[in-house]
Amino acid sequence: MKKIMLTGDRPTGRLHVGHYVGSLKRRVELQNTGDFDEIFIMIADAQALTDNADNPEKVRQNIIEVALDYMACGLDPEKSTLFIQSQIPELCELSFYYMNLVTVSRLQRNPTVKAEIQMRNFEASIPVGFFTYPISQAADITAFKATTVPVGEDQMPMIEQTKEIVHKFNSVYGETLVDPKILLPDNAACLRLPGIDGKAKMSKSLGNCIYLSEEPEDIKKKVFSMFTDPGHIRIEDPGKLEGNTVFTYLDAFCRPEYFPEFLPEYENLDELKAHYQRGGLGDMKVKRFLNNVLQAELEPIRNRRKELQKDIPAIYEVLKKGSEKAEAVAAQTLSEVKAAMKINYFDDEELIKTQAEKFSER
């Protein structure tokens, strides 16, 4: 069976370092292994509209921001198909048929949808499109016969729901859809990178993000304002690592080569952590190190982004070409789905013949 990767992001803002360690970095690594027969990276504008229906301009403006972030991180249109969800009408058609295979109560139990409804104060007036977006996400995944979906932990319920739809479809209509596997980051810090304030999730609405395109001065300011261990007051005090955002970020971003480069007194992160826990290591020193690490990680991304920004029409061209290619693939799957569901009347010569016979006997 072909190995096919599909994933995507909602275009509601520039991408941040949480997106990077949670999924983007892995996608680029996987792309460059050459292990996949096809890679599809989707800008999920239709999904973004499910809770931004009154703000289409926001979605429209952020398409290019996300595309620039993708390519700046190393997603390469020669190797990966970058496309825009709304340009693939087949996804709507698939969703429409999948809706028959999912119950309202199953959607109500989806933990991500539940949390998002609370966060947006939608309780009394949930838009139907928002409520059903896990079904449309199943269409996104199955349309491309994805075998691997690299995403963050919060997307786990969506993949579970997709698998249920796949199993249900295949058992009712015959083996047609491909069962996808989720691919989570293997490092706990990357799984759920907190915001700079230590809050559970980095998000634009909480104002606790470091963006991929952030300028060096702003990265530094944000690192120095980061939440650490509130009980670690004097340098001599023993410090805690749990819930210490600076160390969580080091877990997510630090590479062995950064020690000789920026902090040669320590061999590795374990030594640095042990010193902090013992006492005698100040927050400022750790923050200076993290700042150097983040600057080193983000500088090449920011520079590539600035290069790419010089030719914006070329980026739209990439998305247009990618959307054309993606639509052809989705159309093929849709025709298989319609055949399995027996709604391919005009392609079915056998149907026409048997009906003709039936009526000639009357």
**Interface residues toward ligand TRP, by CB under 6 A:** 6-10, 44, 47, 137, 140-141, 149, 151, 155, 158
Closer to ligand TRP by Cβ: residue 24 or 315: 24
| Cα–Cα distance for residue pair 9/192, rounded to 1 Å | 16
Closer to ligand TRP by Cβ: residue 151 or 326: 151
CB of 19 to ligand TRP, least distance (A): 8
CB of 63 to ligand TRP, least distance (A): 14
Would you say 262 and 292 are in contact if contact means Cβ atoms under 8 Å apart? yes
Closer to ligand TRP by Cβ: residue 8 or 239: 8
CB of 65 to ligand TRP, least distance (A): 14
Q: Which residue is nearest to ligand TRP, using beta carbons?
A: 44
Coarse DSSP helix, strand, coil percentages of the chain, rounded to the nearest 5 percent: 60, 5, 35
Q: CA triplet 233, 191, 179: central angle to 5 degrees?
A: 170
Burial of 123 (0-12, 13-18, 19+ CB in 10 A): exposed
Closer to ligand TRP by Cβ: residue 155 or 323: 155
Bridge partners, residue 211, by sequence: 16
CB of 9 to ligand TRP, least distance (A): 5
CB of 258 to ligand TRP, least distance (A): 29
| Residue appearing with tokens 């809706």 | 99
CA distances from 361 to 185, 222, 358 (A): 64, 81, 6
Closer to ligand TRP by Cβ: residue 166 or 226: 166
Amino acid at 264: P
Closer to ligand TRP by Cβ: residue 12 or 213: 12
Contacts of 310 (CB under 8 A, 6+ apart): none
CB of 261 to ligand TRP, least distance (A): 33
